[in-house]
Amino acid sequence: MKKSKAFWGYLVIALVIYAVVQGMLVTGMLDLYYQNMLITICINIMLAVSLHIVIGITGQFSIGHAGFMAVGAYISAICTMKLGLPFIVGIILAGIVAAFAGVLVGVPSLRLKGDYLAIATLGFAEIIRILFLNIDYVGGAAGMVVNHATTWTYAFFGVIITILVISNFTNSRHGRGCIAIREDEIAADAMGINTTYFKVVAFVIGSLFAGVAGALYAHNFYIIQPTAFNFLKSFEILIYVVLGGLGSLSGSVIAAIFLTAISQYLQAFPETRMIIYSVVLILVMLYRPTGLMGTKELKDLFKARKKGGSEV
């Protein structure tokens, strides 16, 4: 009962945020620059949360997330530009195909652990990118022209659905199985958890939403190129998750918002941006390796404060 009350509370807050921003966009209080920034933030939140379920929850170190984003971007672009399907169909198909790619990549590579898994996911992402680079149907290295179709509404509800699905999954017996794998794979196995299955499930859910994010991304610019989905992009997504706190959904959301905003301001100085990113990342890893939030969620912090207050 208490939980569902909180749920409706969050939903109301979310709808209010949506309505206020939508109102400001319609009335022109927020111009195109800000609209674009908000959409980019939403896409990056989706990417961060979809990687969070793989790294933060299941503890599987994937550094090839941009590969699934690429699959989603290209599939949706093919749907809308080549096949003339509606955007929403493109988004759904992007998610499905990216999830399927997640199965193809996940089944063989998730048997690997730690560093080896990381390198394998990186390898798969590169193969995906080189694949698109070599397919003339989607424009090869020159890329593919895509209509602008992503709106604030699509982006915002994309984020809401992503967060809802992933947090519902996490707070269930299935999510706990994934957390057990993160904590101690051998013990999880001994407690009756089919570790391979849950790793693949988490990976597939992550890939699905990365694909959806890719679809929104493709239709937010006017062109997509394979280079947009290289290792640098995977690294950016990784930074959100790691900085925000491994295992903290709200942490990765906050990191995604914050870093996207910063990088929008530093758009004219890409080198400076990368230098800042890497220095911050190194410092956080050295002095606070669990990330800014650790495994805590935003609501835990409020709880802790309340508790502290009453004791004092």
Partner 1 sequence: MDWLQQLINGISLGSIYALIALGYTMVYGIIKLINFAHGDVFMLGAFIGFFAITRWEMGFLPALIIAMVLCSMIGVIIERVAYKRLRNATRIAALTTAIGVSFLIEYTMIFFRGATPEAYPQVLPNKNINILGANISSQTILILIVTIILMILLQFIVHKTKIGKAMRAVSHDADAARLMGINVDNTISATFAIGSALAGAAGVIFGSYYTRIDPLMGVLPGLKAFIAAVLGGIGSIPGAMVGGFILGIVETIVSAVGYSLWRDAAAFVILILILILKPAGIFGKNIREKV
Partner 2 sequence: MSDLLLKLDNIGIQFGGLKAVQNVDMYLNRGELVGLIGPNGAGKTTTFNMLTGVYVPTEGDITFKGQSIKGLKPYQVTKKGISRTFQNIRLFKDVTVLDNVKIANHHLANHSIISSIFRLPAHFKGEAKMEKESIDFLKIFGLDVYKNELAKNLPYGMQRRLEIARALAAGPELLLLDEPAAGMNPQETQDLMDLIALIREKFNLTILLIEHDMNLVMGICERIYVLDHGQLIAEGTPEEIRNNPKVIEAYLGEEVVQ
Q: For residues 233-262, which are near partner 2 according to CB under 8 A?
A: 247
For residue 123, give Cα distances in angstroms to 92, 143, 200, 234.
26, 21, 17, 12
- Of 83-91, 96-104, 168-176, 206-214, the window that binds partner 2 (rule: CB under 8 A) is 168-176
Q: How is residue 102 written in tokens? A: 């997640």
Report what 165 binds from partner 1, partner 2, none; CB cut-off 5-8 Å by kind: partner 2
Q: Which is nearer to partner 1, 202 or 212 (CB)?
A: 202
Q: Which is nearer to partner 2, 3 or 286 (CB)?
A: 3
Q: Contact 90/216 with Cβ under 8 angstroms?
A: no
Report what 116 binds from partner 1, partner 2, none; CB cut-off 5-8 Å by kind: partner 1
Q: Is 311 an interacting residue with respect to partner 1 (CB under 8 A)?
A: no
Q: Is 137 an interacting residue with respect to partner 1 (CB under 8 A)?
A: no
b/e code 209-225 from CB counts within 10 Å (16+ = b): bbbbbbbbbbbbbeebb
CA 219-243-251 angle, to 5 degrees, is 75
Q: Is 168 an interacting residue with respect to partner 1 (CB under 8 A)?
A: no
Q: Is 6 an interacting residue with respect to partner 2 (CB under 8 A)?
A: no
Q: Is 61 an interacting residue with respect to partner 1 (CB under 8 A)?
A: yes
Question: What is the Cα–Cα distance from 211 to 69, expressed in whole angstroms?
Answer: 5
Question: Which of 16, 272, 299, 307 touches partner 1 by CB under 8 A?
Answer: 272
Q: Which is nearer to partner 2, 46 or 193 (CB)?
A: 193
Question: What is the Cα–Cα distance from 21 to 126, expressed in whole angstroms?
Answer: 37
Question: Which of 5, 27, 32, 186 touches partner 2 by CB under 8 A?
Answer: 186
> To the nearest whole angstrom, how small is the minimum distance from the Cβ of residue 242 to partner 1?
5
Catalog residues that contact partner 2 under the rule CB under 8 A: 165, 168-169, 172-177, 179-180, 183-184, 186-195, 201, 247, 295
Catalog residues that contact partner 1 under the rule CB under 8 A: 55, 59, 61, 63, 108-109, 111-112, 114-116, 118-120, 122-124, 126-127, 130-131, 133-134, 186, 231, 235, 238, 242, 246, 271-272, 274-275, 277-279, 281-282, 285-286, 289
